[in-house]
Amino acid sequence: MPTDRRADRPNVIIIGGGFGGLAAARALRGVDANVAVLDRANHHLFQPLLYQVATASLSPASISQPIRAVLRDPGDAIVTLAEVTGIDLAEARVEVEDGAIPFDYLVLAAGVGQTYFGNGGWAEHAPGLKSIADATEIRRRMLLAFESAEHEGDPDAQRALLTFAIVGGGPTGVELAGAIKEIAGRTLPREYKNIDTATARVILIQGGSRLLESFPEKLSRRAAADLGRLGVEVRLESTVTDVSADGVRVGEEFIAANNVFWAAGVRAAPIAETLGVPLDGSGRVIVEPDLHIAGHERVFVVGDLASFTPAGADHALPGVAQVAMQMGQHAGRAIRAELESSGPLPERGTFRYRDKGSMAIIGRNRAVASIGGLQVAGFPAWLLWAGVHIAFLVGFRNRVRVLFNWACSWLLNSHDARLIVGDARMRVRLPKGPGFVAKNRADPDTP
């Protein structure tokens, strides 16, 4: 729990060190209050590039930064590594594993997790992509698939090893599908002797009628066309009905795939359920126009966890980094104004989101971007995407690392972060090649 506190100052607690939480903390820099950031991880994660860790383009350190390093200057918030277990609004306190922390103001920026729409058992066979642990697990499975296929003597089993099914046609699914097809087709072919990695089958499964549904339809069509040129199979209006260790069932069709990755939906962090306030269908907290919870003027919810529908809009703002940063800044400024007021509390303004555009990368020299009325695709969009992501990375060293890695990858078609971390046992049904002793085909799981 925070220890560097003065009893005569109000307590401002920020839960979450993501985009929204850090933006709120920065807006409160130097304020006369005890400001603390609580997170169960010690690092801020740049989630837009998480798929590049999963596909061996970047190391985890390149897209993360210790929260303490970000908030190290005088006047910054105290950083506390803590698992928040609940929030008691009536008593105005945050419950953690070893006690409770009282608050005068609270900014809840705990984010969201993966949802499998009531099929939690699918998570074991189809990992999502929300954390560094998720990314390294996907990377492990992807790389092990090629290693296993190299020594698989059963053609059907080899085909299943070289089949990758990605569920979900949003930016994460599109970027993941394109990156896997590129590493299979450009980076790996020279390194394997018994298989042609370029024949790897990548299938992108989308329940809706088009990819990137939040983008203009023209760019959705362009993204699907670019993926098709890469060799990705795009399946629209397709519903996943089952996932197992052996593959995925789409409608009545079973696709043998040893690698299924999930990018099809999110669910609010469980902490939202402890508030006892109205939630939307995804478990996000419904907030007022200034982002506070109805009936609790000093409790703000920002980022992916907040359900906020601007006036005149048909749906709530999306869970993207720029929304979280603007919300966090708005909440931090509102709290600061009230703490620094010597008279009546200033009137809070309505949160107004300024849409700075949407981008998604499909592959080498391929991307789509929508910025205001401008719609860009191809190499110009790819350059724009790269520039924006470099600019918003936290930490100068990370910017240099990522820029250098991208330059090497572009010039040499290299993916140098190909580390298998964790269980490195191959899944081979009928072994072949040096170092293997044939075993009973009916007992494929024998180590």
Residue 427 has a CB neighbour count (10 Å cut-off) of 18
User: Counting beta carbons within 10 angstroms of the beta carbon of residue 168, is it exposed (0 to 12), middle (13 to 18) or buried (19 or more)?
Assistant: buried
Is 297 annotated as catalytic?
no
Of the residues 150, 152, 175, 182, which is catalytic?
Answer: 175
Residue 336 has a CB neighbour count (10 Å cut-off) of 21
Residue 274 has a CB neighbour count (10 Å cut-off) of 14
Q: Nearest-CA neighbor of 263 among 327, 179, 339?
A: 179
Whole-number Å distance between alpha carbons of 329 and 325: 6
432: CB partners within 8 A, 6+ apart:
151, 152, 153, 194
Beta bridge partners, 358, equal 370
Whole-number Å distance between alpha carbons of 109 and 60: 22
Q: Which residues are catalytic?
A: 175
